């Protein structure tokens, strides 16, 4: 059977292959939002791609979750929730800036026992290795994970990773731990950021700017009318 795929079809398949598990609503937001009936359009496309054997799906979740054809995870696996949490972080980033060089379940050391961040990306010009913790861990386990990052830092192997800039010195990514719990972990060598979400991260970054802006608004108030300077 011959068939022709649109560029959007190809992009959707590639996106599912990259993130391993993608729910229908995320596909609507990322690929169909501009259409008049985005949900119906998405459903139609995904049914067609599924029937063509180009994607897999599981209806264990609502809405439907789509998987790569060669997915090595069972359709009722808890691993699907792990991949959906990675996707959620990516989507949060997209509301501020589209991440670049995205790698799901990055393995930069190339060997077992090294660091295995859930996500690598360059976000707003800065590289991040992101650890997403859906469950609470012991502080010792979290500190052990940080020690692995420090070991990689001292190896200097990171300086040759393919995404490193060619025109300036190599950069060791910040390690972002997305967690509802704050851990007493430290490092004298790498930057560690603990936040509950990307939204919290962005609030922290814009904090000083916001305070300056509010101060300017207050100083320019007259007769109860606030002048919003941008």
Both 133 and 174 in a single domain?
A: yes
More confident residue, 17 or 217: 17
pLDDT band per the 50, 70, 90 thresholds, residue 227: very low
Residue 187 is part of a domain; what is its CATH number? 3.40.1350
Is 116 within a domain? yes
Q: How far apart are the first and last CA of the chain?
A: 57
Cβ pair 42, 32 in contact under 8 A: yes
pLDDT band per the 50, 70, 90 thresholds, residue 215: very low
Is 230 within a domain? no
Both 178 and 108 in a single domain?
A: yes
Is 48 within a domain? yes
Count of CB atoms situated within 10 Å of the CB of 129: 24
Phi, psi of 140 (to 5 degrees): -65, -45
Both 86 and 139 in a single domain?
A: yes
pLDDT band per the 50, 70, 90 thresholds, residue 52: very high
Q: To the nearest whole number, what is the mean pLDDT of the chain?
A: 88
pLDDT band per the 50, 70, 90 thresholds, residue 219: very low
Q: Check residue 171 and give its pLDDT.
A: 96
Q: Check residue 138 and give its pLDDT.
A: 85
Both 51 and 89 in a single domain?
A: no
DSSP string over 25-91: HHHIIIIITTSSSHHHHHHHHHHHHHHTTS-EEE-SSSS-EEE-TT--S-TT-THHHHHHHHHHHHH
Both 62 and 18 in a single domain?
A: yes
Phi, psi of 206 (to 5 degrees): -85, -5
Both 37 and 60 in a single domain?
A: yes
Both 71 and 82 in a single domain?
A: no
Range of the domain at 65: 1-75
Over residues 108-133, the pLDDT tens digits come to: 999 888 999 999 999 999 999 999 99
Is 59 within a domain? yes
Is 71 within a domain? yes
Q: Check residue 3 and give its pLDDT.
A: 72
pLDDT band per the 50, 70, 90 thresholds, residue 205: confident
Q: What is the mean pLDDT of residues 57-68?
A: 95
Q: Which of 32-36, 103-107, 211-215 has the lowest mean pLDDT?
A: 211-215
pLDDT band per the 50, 70, 90 thresholds, residue 22: very high
User: Among residues 25, 56, 75, which one ends one of the domains?
Assistant: 75
Q: Quick check: 200 pLDDT over 60?
A: yes
Q: Check residue 228 and give its pLDDT.
A: 26
Count structural domains, the chain: 2
Cβ pair 174, 192 in contact under 8 A: yes
Residue 60 is part of a domain; what is its CATH number? 1.10.10.10
Both 52 and 82 in a single domain?
A: no
Both 155 and 203 in a single domain?
A: yes
More confident residue, 134 or 121: 121
């Amino acid at each position: 059977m011959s068939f022709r795929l649109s560029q959007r079809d190809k992009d959707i398949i590639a996106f599912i292959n990259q993130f391993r598990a993608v729910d229908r609503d995320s596909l609507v937001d990322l690929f169909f939002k501009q259409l008049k009936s985005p949900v119906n359009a998405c459903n139609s496309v995904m049914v067609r791609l599924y029937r063509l054997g180009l994607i897999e799906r599981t209806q264990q979740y609502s809405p439907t979750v789509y998987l790569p054809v060669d997915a090595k995870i069972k359709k009722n696996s808890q691993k699907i929730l792990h991949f959906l949490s990675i996707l959620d972080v990516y989507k949060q980033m997209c509301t501020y800036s589209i991440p670049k060089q995205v790698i799901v379940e990055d393995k930069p050391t190339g060997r077992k026992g090294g660091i295995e961040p859930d996500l690598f990306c360059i976000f707003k010009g800065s590289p991040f290795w992101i650890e997403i913790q859906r469950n609470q861990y012991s502080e010792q386990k979290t500190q052990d994970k940080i020690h692995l990052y420090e070991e990689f830092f001292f190896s200097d192997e990171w300086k040759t990773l393919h995404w490193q800039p060619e025109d300036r010195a190599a950069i060791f990514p910040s390690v972002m731990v997305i967690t509802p719990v704050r851990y007493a972990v430290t490092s004298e060598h790498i930057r560690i950021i603990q936040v509950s979400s990307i939204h919290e991260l962005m609030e922290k970054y814009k904090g000083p700017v916001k305070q300056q802006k509010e101060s300017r608004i207050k100083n320019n108030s007259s007769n109860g009318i606030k002048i919003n300077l941008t």
